Amino acid sequence: MTRVPLAALLAANVISITGNRLTQLAIPWFVLQTTGSVAKTGLVGFFSLLPFVISSALGGVIVDRLGYRRASIVSDLASGSSVLLVPILYHTVGLPLAALLGLVFAGALLDAPGQTAREAILPDLVERAGTTLERGTSLFDGVSRGANMLGAPLAGALIAVMGPANVLILDAATFSPRRS
């Protein structure tokens, strides 16, 4: 009986959700700051939500085919790569709006399957930890809601201190296979 895998899953979920909130605020802020266009900012917001809706419907199939752990890792690596490419491309060769929309879409496309995979593995880890499913799901839900609640103000503070491009770099640095 070990609680380490459950604690690792909870920590991974907190990092993932917090990172999603950082990206969710930093990318539109980045667009507004670099283009001055409210319309482009809204378009980027749309392209960050559309893939989540699509992948929520298809996420179970992806998780079934890849397996829980692999789906979570692939999700994080794909999201991290697309987030990191935004400031890298902007500061090097430039970042046309179409490329930014593609990166935003790709980055959000696997978020739902990654979350589904973490939720699906929870019962096994709760059992290995020797605790009840009710306690485990309560912990999972509590840390998830806490990360959602604190992620937005953290993003705002970091954007104010570091700027949106640096927040994206920081967020991308938290993506790794160890995270899942």
Type of residue numbered 32: L
Inside any domain, residue 14: yes
More confident residue, 40 or 110: 40
CATH of the domain at 90: 1.20.1250.20
End-to-end CA distance of the chain: 20
Structural domain boundaries enclosing 27:
4-175
Q: Note the pTM of the prediction, 2 decimals.
A: 0.84
**What's the whole-number mean pLDDT along residues 1-20?**
89
Q: Are 75 and 110 in contact (CB under 8 A)?
A: yes
Each residue's pLDDT tens digit, 72-94: 888 888 888 999 999 999 999 99
Inside any domain, residue 119: yes
Inside any domain, residue 180: no
Type of residue numbered 96: P
Inside any domain, residue 66: yes
**What's the whole-number mean pLDDT along residues 110-134?**
90
- How far is C-alpha 17 from the geometric centre of its chain's CA atoms? 5
Inside any domain, residue 24: yes
